[in-house]
Structure 1
Amino acid sequence: VVLASCKKKPKEKVVAKIEGADTPIIIEFGNPLPNLMEGVTASEKDGAVDLTSKITVTHNVDVSKWGVYDVTYKVKSSSGHVTRVDRKAIVGEFANYDNISFKFYPADLRHTFFAAAEKWLLETMTGGIPIQANSGFQMFSDRMQLVLEEYDPIMGFATLYADMNKTDEQVTMDDGNPGQPGKKTYRQAWGSTPKTMMHWLYDDSVSSDLLTLVLDALYDYQFTTGTDYDLLPSMAAELPEPVNPVQLEYNPDLVVSKVWRVKLRDDLKWTFHPNTPNKDNLKQTIDANDFIWTYKEALDQGWFRAISGGGDFFSSTQEIVNAKAYYDARKTPDPSDDIPWDQVGLKAIDDHTLEFHFVNLMSEWNVKYWLASFTMGPIHKELYESLWEGEGENRVNKYGTAPQYTAFNGAFYVDYFETDKMIRLVKNENFHGKDKIKFDGINIAIISDPQMRFQEFLAGKLDVTAVPSTRYPEYKDDPRIKKVPGATTFRLSLNGNGTVEKQKEDAAGPREADGSFVPEPILARPSFKKALYFAIDRYKLAYDIIKTVDPQMYHFTSAYIVDASTFTSFRETPQGVAVGQGFSPDTYGYNEQVAKALWEKALDEVMEDGYYKKGDTIHLTLSIQANSEAMTLLGNYLEEQFEKLFVSEKYNIKVDVEVIPLAFPDNYYAAVLIGAVDMGIGGISGSTLDAASFLEVYCSDNRGGFTMDWGIDTTQPEILVEYQDYVDGQLVTKREFWSFDAIVSALNGTVTVRDGMEVK
């Protein structure tokens, strides 16, 4: 007997496609409203059926007033599915410039453009939803003698230069016994093991923390007198020297050039682990050729830090002549496409002089700041070349995978490395600045549980620890506790693709999206994104729930500086203060009434388009970092708050949030960075003394390598900027529309702008 259903076979879903509406409609002020259907078509079944005549267009454009307006195109397919495309129409005047740069303009203009960019991020929620700054509290043991008793945004507590009033035999080491007599070992504990000691490949903060201790940089922050410090030569012998300097009409006192030379110290040496193969026969000294060979190999191999990450050779902030062209040509199968290495702007003039050729003008500060990182340091050529294994696609290099396969040049070297257990560092006697270092070594225990780390500190086995949120009330008055203000804003990133079709488009693009993920349509609605922003009680979350963070309603904390010449926090400038207007700054962006109204508005839109039906539950996934007490508390709060506020009696629809803990760095690489989750908590750190360079992480083309939001477009000229500029020697007021991308490029380098948009 065969039982057959009497129900009809479900009708196949046919999705229509609207084309020609993916660019903004530019309307010069004073011109009439153009034909909004010009160039716009619709079809289904791969173009076999033309639906253009069935497109409906709605808009709110008023050509008599400057502004950014919404144009919506809708068409229904033969199966009843509604396709919607939203487009911007902008009325006004637009920026049009050839090779313009604001990089060295006066601070007031740079603050104005930076503020306009951040304001737009908040108005559109393009960069996600800022929630909190990664502040916290640390406790130091009684034997620690810190140089800085209060946290400094650049130097921290300067623990690298600290001293101790007790030696190791007077304290308990990690094995439960007293340490070696007369030695001073700084005892720490980290939550996870560094992934690599190869500094051109690292992509996590834990590896960065280790590399900072074992690798030097051309320039470094050093104390001058007392607690004063400056960015001074380290591996370099002197300050950068400009070649053919240029004088700027609008900033005549500033020396800039596109070519800079850096002279190296003549006493730079490598240090090797005792078990490094053939170490006595390896080259012992470091010179300019080591740097340039490393730079070439980095581009040949496509190492992460050479091509992305912000401090790379491609970013507009410090773009190197022909570096991108050289790298791109190497990827093509035709050898004739290759660009000779001598055409790339990275050169060794002699054994102790580096020369950098930049695409854009650079100041002495720009050059020092870029080179003040271990990232731009060399690796050891001979050791690296001896560590290749395998053949073809299986060929790998072991450099940086273990202490014996790494060459060191910093204050310490790695003597012992056991994954998930212990890392031991020993003072590097070859380091040119060794006399400033008081520690004989550093022990780093790997303890994933923050409560256990704290207990080890209380037991006297550590010299420093972070204070867990749950223990803060108990120890908040302890004289050993110190506040660590956070520079990084943690934000709620959003997958705003809205449809499977859009998700698949991104999967075929340069950002490598998860094409199988099904995004929630409501997250594509700007009104719901804003509802999420206003729904968060940041004050309560920071001070009553987590207790060890600070509320943050902006993308940039007070640690960020737009113009290093003023050393003024952007948040303290008039432009920085004005960014918060309209976003409930008195309550850190919290307004339940506004959140609920925006939620209902978003529901009206998605219900009209047929994405949901009455009685539905909207399921939203939220990824957080696992094994983090603060992130767990944050995830639980967002789940409870969103489910409480986002309930509609009108449609009998509610939101259900599923919190997904993922181990670091999977919470980034397996979730938000590939669009495999609806929402995700994450924080990306930027250059605090060069805030404009950090804007790149919000660009929709992922030029900074860490764009965390999806379904965004930063190419359109939606940002109205009013500013003063010199024209023919006269100060005039300009009022123009710019795109976010054009602003980013103008603040960091040189850009050509047409109709307010960046020309690439």
Structure 2
Amino acid sequence: MKTRRTLKIFAPLLAAVLVLSACGSGEGIYDDKGQVFRKVIPQDMSSLDTAKVTDAVSFDTFNQVYEGLYVLDGNDKAQPGVAKGKPKISEDGKTWTVKLREDAKWSNGDPVTAHDFEFAWKRVVDPDTASEYAYIMYDLKNAEDINIGEKKPNELGVKALDDHTLQFELTKPLPYFKEMLAFGTFMPQNEKVVKKYGERYGTNEDKAVYNGPFKVKEWAVEDKILLVKNDKYWDKDVVKLDKINYKVLKDQQAGASLYDTKSVDDTLITAEQVEKYKDDPALKKRLLAATFFLKLNQGTVPAFKDKHMRLALGQAVDKEAYVNAVLNNGSEPSDGFTSKATAKAPDDSDFADQIDSPLVYNPEKAKENYEKAKEALGEDTFTFKLNTEDTPASKVSAEFIKAQIEKNLPGVTIKIQQLPFKQRIAREQSENYDISLSGWGPDYPDPLTFLNIMTTGNSSNNTGWGNKEYDKMLKDSNGALLQKEEERNQTLIDAEELLLNNAPITPIYQKGEAHLTNPQVKNLQYHNIGGDTTLKYVYIDKSIDRETGKKKEK
């Protein structure tokens, strides 16, 4: 079609313009001198404030520029970061004492101390901070009461016993809490710097300090993020990269062209490009533990108060055709909320495989539910706005979903509204939307990392839906049932099936990615939980031929 041909012509031209503009700026973003990893990212990060973000790009950046008590290895198991070793845990599993390494420093030379963790965690749960991720700390003593304003932040169950000893108290023993401590929201903050900048903290590279392998040298909003090696990092000797250059580029067609001109080392590519690169050693596909779904806002859309309308929408999209025709990047259809590879069942099977969902593609059942909804609502036609991001790939996705719904539910009209990522998120947070194509990835290896966000009043729910039975099942799963593995597993299954049968969200797919990754890039670690990558151990092996992926001939 004409649109597709236009994109193919436009992308190389755009790539050429981008490369030329970089060459004229002294130290270009595409320069490959020395040890530099250059990556195209599809959207910008939202902040450098670890208390204020919820998006994957920000958390991925945090993995490179900050370090928590623990970090995740290549198998998503917690290893010591700022912590000196394993925690000392009391007999009841609730009180943890962690010794910190004494050589950890911030990029401004200040020591990283236990006080930095105490300050950061209290700041997250302080309601004045308005952290959307505060709930992830609710397993700390008094955290929830503080966050809802019933107690003071200084009553949080965390205390720096001295500069290098942190002690905290949990509400109950949690087997996966060490992995949670690797997550971005639990990372430390330098109190002096946070208080110096106040509301402006983390809004640009100069209004933050860093304790990770890298630090932010430049952040040009919606354009680029440039990282350089942090010479104050305690483990700097194992860090081989001098620079990491992220280019924000919403057009993945142009990303592939940048790869072809050897201007970047890693980029996502579109469905139609996968076939072109099928024999290229650079093509890598991976399935992420992330579910993408339609959020249906019954808080402000009267038609979505009817369960049958929500079910109809969830059953009206051919997900198999969607992942094959639209994405073609390793994504898989999804009828459940908790993604595969998030958590194990007691028998060591995947938790997600146990779920019986009503939201399977089924045009006949979709029509049945639609007819029930029309009768209950007393209407025959409906118009809904579908929010998605302002990228070419997002538009194609939205158009497919629109076509499926309008074909299978006659009388429904879907109007696509493309928005910059931050605006789409802001619309969700303020519940100013009809339908939003949204996604969620796990923060720790347990089904609660997905299911908790749909509890009543959760800051990531934003759908107007709440269910007391669902809330109780999750509360029990995170409390009384923690030591009853089989019963807890069944309760979590029941909770997810209750959610899916109410359909405030309707899953579409589990996210896959098709990357072009320079074969010279070595030791790149991907994660299923938390931030997407760890680049601490990456190096560029220039003895490898970029085109063939094999050793160069001498």
Contact 2:105/2:232 (8 A) holds in 1:
yes
Matched, 1:193 2:44: yes
Q: Work out the CA distance in 1 between the residues paired with 2:377 and 2:168.
A: 53
Letter in 1 for 2:420: A
Structure-2 change in CA distance of 1:409 and 1:592 (3 Å): same
Structure-2 change in CA distance of 1:261 and 1:173 (3 Å): farther
Structure-2 change in CA distance of 1:561 and 1:262 (3 Å): same
Matched, 1:619 2:443: no
Letter in 2 for 1:382: K
Of 287, 291, 297, which aligns to 2:113?
A: 287
Task: Return the offset for 1:347.
Answer: 0.7
Of 237, 253, 256, which aligns to 2:84?
A: 237
Residue 550 of structure 2 is matched in structure 1 by: none
2:407 counterpart SS class = helix
Task: Return the offset for 1:538.
Answer: 0.8
Matched, 1:544 2:391: no
Structure-2 change in CA distance of 1:310 and 1:744 (3 Å): farther
Residue 642 of structure 1 is matched in structure 2 by: 405
Task: Return the offset for 1:200.
Answer: 1.4
**Runs of 5+ consecutive residues of structure 1 not aligned to the other structure:** 1-170, 247-256, 273-282, 331-337, 388-395, 498-502, 504-518, 584-588, 648-653, 716-738
Of 601, 605, 619, which aligns to 2:372?
A: 601
Q: Work out the CA distance in 2 between the residues paired with 1:237 and 1:304.
A: 31
Q: Work out the CA distance in 2 between the residues paired with 1:198 and 1:675.
A: 23
Residue 674 of structure 1 is matched in structure 2 by: 430
1:681 counterpart SS class = strand
Task: Return the offset for 1:460.
Answer: 0.6
Of 129, 133, 139, which aligns to 1:309?
A: 133
Letter in 2 for 1:206: V
Q: Work out the CA distance in 2 between the residues paired with 1:422 and 1:180.
A: 14
Matched, 1:707 2:461: yes
Task: Return the offset for 1:260.
Answer: 1.1
Residue 271 of structure 1 is matched in structure 2 by: 107
Contact 1:197/1:207 (8 A) holds in 2:
yes
Q: Work out the CA distance in 1 between the residues paired with 2:192 and 2:425.
A: 35
Letter in 2 for 1:640: A
Task: Return the offset for 1:533.
Answer: 2.1
Q: Work out the CA distance in 2 between the residues paired with 1:619 and 1:560.
A: 36
Task: Return the offset for 1:487.
Answer: 1.6
Structure-2 change in CA distance of 1:443 and 1:535 (3 Å): same
Contact 1:546/1:633 (8 A) holds in 2:
no
2:174 counterpart SS class = strand
Residue 70 of structure 2 is matched in structure 1 by: 219
Q: Work out the CA distance in 2 between the residues paired with 1:683 and 1:232.
A: 28
Contact 1:520/1:620 (8 A) holds in 2:
no
Contact 2:338/2:451 (8 A) holds in 1:
no
Task: Return the offset for 1:356.
Answer: 0.7
Letter in 2 for 1:175: C
TM value normalised by structure 2: 0.76
Of 23, 39, 44, which aligns to 1:175?
A: 23
Structure-2 change in CA distance of 1:713 and 1:376 (3 Å): closer
Letter in 2 for 1:445: K
Of 168, 171, 174, which aligns to 1:359?
A: 171
Alignment of 1:184-583 (within 5 A): 184-222=35-73, 230-243=77-90, 245-246=91-92, 257-272=93-108, 284-300=110-126, 302-305=128-131, 308-309=132-133, 312-314=136-138, 318=139, 320-329=140-149, 339=152, 341=154, 343-363=155-175, 366-387=176-197, 396-497=198-299, 503=300, 519-521=301-303, 523-548=304-329, 549-562=331-344, 568-572=349-353, 575-576=354-355, 579-580=356-357
Residue 142 of structure 1 is matched in structure 2 by: none
Alignment of 1:644-663 (within 5 A): 644-647=407-410, 654-663=411-420
Task: Return the offset for 1:187.
Answer: 0.8
Structure-2 change in CA distance of 1:231 and 1:293 (3 Å): closer
Structure-2 change in CA distance of 1:205 and 1:304 (3 Å): farther
CA RMSD in angstroms, aligned pairs only: 3.1
Q: Work out the CA distance in 2 between the residues paired with 1:296 and 1:688.
A: 20
Contact 2:124/2:134 (8 A) holds in 1:
no
Deviations 1:558-588 (A, max 9, x none): 122045x87642134xx34xx24x66xxxxx
Task: Return the offset for 1:383.
Answer: 2.6
Contact 1:561/1:567 (8 A) holds in 2:
no
Of 471, 478, 489, which aligns to 1:748?
A: 478
Q: Work out the CA distance in 1 between the residues paired with 2:215 and 2:414.
A: 46
1:493 counterpart SS class = strand
Task: Return the offset for 1:749.
Answer: 2.3
Of 361, 364, 373, which aligns to 1:590?
A: 361
Letter in 1 for 2:128: G
Letter in 2 for 1:597: E
Q: Work out the CA distance in 1 between the residues paired with 2:364 and 2:119.
A: 60
Pick the structure with more strand per residue. Answer: 1
Contact 1:642/1:655 (8 A) holds in 2:
yes
Task: Return the offset for 1:362.
Answer: 3.1
Q: Work out the CA distance in 1 between the residues paired with 2:147 and 2:82.
A: 27
Letter in 1 for 2:255: R
Contact 1:174/1:461 (8 A) holds in 2:
no
Task: Return the offset for 1:204.
Answer: 2.4
Contact 1:622/1:658 (8 A) holds in 2:
yes
Letter in 1 for 2:457: N
Structure-2 change in CA distance of 1:630 and 1:486 (3 Å): farther
Deviates more, 1:463-472 or 1:446-455: 446-455
Q: Work out the CA distance in 1 between the residues paired with 2:348 and 2:21.
A: 42
Residue 689 of structure 1 is matched in structure 2 by: 445
Task: Return the offset for 1:286.
Answer: 1.4
Q: Work out the CA distance in 2 between the residues paired with 1:591 and 1:329.
A: 46
Task: Return the offset for 1:693.
Answer: 3.4
Structure-2 change in CA distance of 1:496 and 1:321 (3 Å): same
Deviations 1:378-417 (A, max 9, x none): 2222233333xxxxxxxx4332222222111101011222
Identity %: 24
Larger radius of gyration: 1
Deviations 1:428-467 (A, max 9, x none): 2222232332212111122232222221111110001111
Contact 1:218/1:235 (8 A) holds in 2:
yes
Alignment of 1:82-121 (within 5 A): none
Task: Return the offset for 1:532.
Answer: 1.8
Contact 2:125/2:134 (8 A) holds in 1:
no
Letter in 2 for 1:746: D
Residue 146 of structure 1 is matched in structure 2 by: none
Letter in 1 for 2:445: L
Structure-2 change in CA distance of 1:443 and 1:362 (3 Å): same
